[in-house]
Amino acid sequence: MKAKLIRYFFLGFVITAISACSATGPVFSEAPGPKQIDALVYIYRPDSMYYSGIQSHFYLNDVKVASLNKNGYTWFYAPKGEYALKQHWTGMDSDNQIITRNIKLPPQGKVFYRLTIGLEDFRAQYPGFKATHGWVLSEVTESQALIEMRDTRFQPPFDLDKVIAQKR
């Protein structure tokens, strides 16, 4: 009986700990359209049990612009142009665990980037994928993103003035 009680207590603790790592901001709503020379950038991280307790950080030209928990999203305006969009995890500083995408932001455009974590998408995209987990940062269509972001929570961006200063 005592062992069963301990198991229930442990299970309750684990469920509470995992759910506490979710994004807590307001539920998804679309941002106003971009200004004439700016692009509107969305980054989101759908819910996944993989890395659920670890924040994912995003950089634009080495300026940290967002940190997302599972089921989180952010949006921001950036001047048109070419950028390096990077993603890495809290506590994982090796170069082989950083994703870098070279992106081009069009004036008055909208772009959507999704951080996918887990095996299902990887096995579909990369036949023969053998790892137990993985992640990819991919550009997705607006229609797909709006469906997937429906239940995500907003997490505000930061340091965008540094990104703007680099481009102007």
What's the pLDDT tens digit per position in 75-88? 999 999 999 999 98
Over the Cα atoms of the chain, what is R_g? 18
Instruction: Please tell me the distance from the alpha carbon of residue 63 to that of residue 60, in angstroms, as a whole number.
Output: 5
| pTM for this model (two decimals) | 0.77
Residue 94's pLDDT is 57
C-alpha closest to that of 115 among 50, 26, 33, 38? 50
Average pLDDT, the chain: 79
Q: Which structural domain range is residue 25 located in?
A: 2-167
**Segment 6-33, tens digit of pLDDT:** 444 444 344 444 444 567 777 787 887 7
Q: How many domains does the chain have?
A: 1
Query: What number is the average pLDDT over the span 54-78?
Result: 94
